[in-house]
Amino acid sequence: MATAVGTRRAEIKTRTTDEVKKNATEVYARWGLSLSDAINTFLIKSIEVGGLPFDLRPEAPSYDAIAAIAYKPKLNDEGVAVLPSDWDDDDE
């Protein structure tokens, strides 16, 4: 198991976009962490769990997210949904 004991002397260089760096720095600053502290914490936790310290599967969308893109039928004068089977197709 990895520990944070000792002086940090090893250097890791990485590239990212200015926007990612800025946004990540703001996120970790709210927790009182520098970006370096956050990356070090990520690495230590990765070693402890033997892989990525989080799940990469997408989360199930919330009800609000689904509702935002869901089909919303038109309502008739009585407030009842007009469903596709009720549409006048002019085929008949």
pLDDT in tens, 19-49: 999 999 999 999 999 999 999 999 999 999 9
Domain boundaries, the chain: 18-86
pTM: 0.55
**C-beta atoms surrounding 32 within 10 Å:** 7
Rounded Cα gap, residues 70 and 90, in angstroms: 26
**C-beta atoms surrounding 24 within 10 Å:** 14
Is residue 1 predicted with pLDDT exceeding 70? no
Tokens 């200015």, residue located: 18
How many CA atoms are closer than 13 Å to the CA of 90, on its beta-carbon side? 0
